[in-house]
Every structure is written in C-alpha cells, then in structure tokens.
Structure 1
Amino acid sequence: MANPPPLTPEERDRIAQLHAEGKTRNDIARILGRSKSTITLAARGLGLTFDRSATAAATQAKQADAKARRAQLKLDLLDDAERLRLRLWEPTTVVLSTPKGPARVTLDLPPARDARDIMGAVQAAVRSHVDLDRLDISDGADAAKSMLGQLGEALQVAADQLNGTTSDE
C-alpha cells in the first residue's frame, strides 16, 4: 500500500488549532482524514499531548461497577448452590404411571436421576462462582498485560518514526 503524502504545514497548523480547541486525537484524525498514528506523531512533533484522564476515570469507574456486580453474583451463586443442595435431602413428590392412571407419590429423597441432576446444577453454580473469583484475582495480571501492550505500542510508534512510516496507514 502506498504511503500517504506527508502532512502539509497547513495540516500541522490545523492539528495544533484543533488540539487547542480540546479535540481528541480520534476527532482530529476524522476531521483531517488522516490516521490516528499520523496525528499522534504530528502532535508529538509539535510538543502536544492528549489528555486521557477522563477516559481513564470512566474506565476505572466501569471496572469498579463490574467488580461489585460480580461480587454480588458470586454470593448469589453460592446461595443458589446451597438451596439446590438442600433439595437432595428433602422429600420429593413424583408422578408415577400405574394401571389405574397417574399417581402422585412422595418419596423421602429425590430419585437417583434427579439427585444427579441437582448435583450437576450445584457443581455448575460453584464452578461459576470459582470462575468469577479467578476473574477478579487476575485483575493484577491484566493490568500488567495492559502495561506491556502500551509499551509495545509506544515502541512501534518509535520504530515507525525512525523508519519514516506509520503503522496504521
């Protein structure tokens, strides 16, 4: 794919103007019809940076909300597992076919097949609880992965600058 033409002095001035107006990098890229990396490189060359604090704060708030919802769901899943498990030891009414027609019979415990199904549901609830627990435990690892990803992107931008190319054009 052919490289796009270099930015004109007018485009660089327009980038500075739009940045001063508070436009985001993505907005400027859209307005000028240039790639995000081109705008990033030009802004950096002009000594400009883009404020990401609002985005970071919104992301943190959403993550905190999701973590709270997962915590409640984990508790609910344990409650579900406990309630289901109690059914293993309760009398159960079943309908049996008899020569005289269907008959309701109360058993001291659920039939083996029903007990197996109940245990499967208990296991599924507990497994879901554990999976949600693991998700919250892995938050620290995800933060490290995110930092490494950002470092990789920064290295790519630096390499592109050295080579005189941009990565997403």
Structure 2
Amino acid sequence: MSNQHRPVTPEDRDEIILLHGEGKGRNEIARLTGRAQRTVSVICAEEGLVFDASMTEDATRHRVAQLAALRADTAVDLHLDALKLTQQMWEPATIFNFGGKDNTYRDKHVSEPPSGDKKNLMAAAGIALEKSLKLVPPADDTGVEDAQSVLGQLMVGLKAAYDQAKSEEAGNEEAEGESP
C-alpha cells in the first residue's frame, strides 16, 4: 500500500509543517513525504499556513519571458525566410521535368523562375510574413501623435501665412485708394 493512501499520522503532520517552515513548496513537500499534493495543501490550510506564491510567480514570469524571446527569434527567422524566398524570384533557377512514357528526366537552366514558380515563392513568403506577424505583432505605436503634431504645426504656419497675406493685401488696397 502506498504512502498516499495510508492515514496521516501526527508525525506526518509535523513533518509537513516542519518542511513548510523550511520554505519548501507544496510539490516538494509532497515529493519528500510521499503524500499527495492535495493532502499537503489541506494540512497546511488546517494549520493556517500558506505557501509563498512569489517563487511560482517568478518562475511563471521567467517562462513567459522565455517563450516571448523564442517567439521573437522565430519571427525573425520567418522574416529572413520570406526575404530569401522573394530573392529567389529574380535569381537563376533550374526547371525540370520528370516523367513521360519513357520516365525521363530533363532540366534547363533559366535566368529566373517561371511565373508559376514565382507565384508559389511569393505565396510562401507571404505565409512566412503572416505567421511572423502573428507571433510578434507590430507595436501599436503608429506615430499618430507625431503626425497630429506635424499637421497642427503646419496648420498654424498656414494660418500665419494666410493672415500675413491678407494683411498685406489690405495694406495694398489702402495704398491704392490714397493715390490720386
């Protein structure tokens, strides 16, 4: 009969409480005592003991950061793959045919791939870019504020130029009215 199915003794409880006091986590206590994780949780809860979740939170944050880095690396690789695929559209290639009634192989070197192959290369590049952008979407910083600022400054400048031109035009009309 395994330890997990036998009744919990006072000694078992004391060991679990002692290990908790040493700062061990629930899973480690369960492993060390041969008890189920739920049993450890129940005993600690009955004693008013809580587990420090900061280690779990730190580990989770670390793992999330690792996954983000892997996604970023994969996104870069996919962008590079897309670049290679689009470059192949304009490079010399070898086209071939295999088959026929005599099951023969023929090839021919050409200055660039035929249009059907270019279409396939472009489709593959597009898929690579699409997947890359799903892994790491572009930053939400679209530069809207900068554009609004530039447009605002442009409007102020245009208004000043308009006001100056209007003022000069009014001055010219007065000068024309004063001449004999």
Please give the TM-score of this superposition, normalised by the length of structure 1: 0.59
Q: C-alpha deviations, 1:72-122, integer Å up to 9, x for none?
A: 33233223313322332x25243679xxxx785433x41134223312421
Pairing of 1:82-121 with structure 2 (within 5 A) = 82-88=83-89, 90-94=90-94, 105-107=109-111, 109-121=112-124
Sequence identity percentage: 35
Counterpart-to-counterpart distance in 2, 1:32 and 1:93: 66
Pairing of 1:1-169 with structure 2 (within 5 A) = 4=5, 6-88=7-89, 90-94=90-94, 105-107=109-111, 109-133=112-136
Instruction: Indicate the SS of the match to 1:69.
Output: helix
Structure 2 gap ranges (5+): 98-105, 138-180
Counterpart-to-counterpart distance in 2, 1:20 and 1:96: 73
Counterpart-to-counterpart distance in 2, 1:112 and 1:133: 31
Q: Which amino acid aligns with 1:110?
A: P
Structure 1 gap ranges (5+): 135-169
Counterpart-to-counterpart distance in 2, 1:93 and 1:30: 61
Q: Which amino acid aligns with 2:94?
A: V
Q: Which amino acid aligns with 2:122?
A: M
Q: C-alpha deviations, 1:25-83, integer Å up to 9, x for none?
A: 22222233221101101001111112232232122123213213322332332233133
Structure with larger RCO (C-alpha < 8 A, sep 6+): 1
Larger radius of gyration: 2
The alignment covers a number of residue pairs equal to: 127
Counterpart-to-counterpart distance in 2, 1:105 and 1:32: 71
Q: Which moved more, 1:79-88 or 1:36-45?
A: 79-88
Counterpart-to-counterpart distance in 2, 1:15 and 1:76: 49
2:95, 2:113 within 8 Å by CA — same for their partners in 1?
no
Counterpart-to-counterpart distance in 1, 2:26 and 2:66: 27
Say what the alpha-carbon RMSD is for the aligned residues.
3.1
Q: How far 1:4 moved relative to its partner?
A: 4.0
Counterpart-to-counterpart distance in 2, 1:13 and 1:25: 15
Counterpart-to-counterpart distance in 1, 2:38 and 2:80: 50
Instruction: Indicate the SS of the match to 1:51.
Output: coil
Q: C-alpha deviations, 1:119-139, integer Å up to 9, x for none?
A: 2421331232133137xxxxx
Q: Which amino acid aligns with 2:119?
A: R
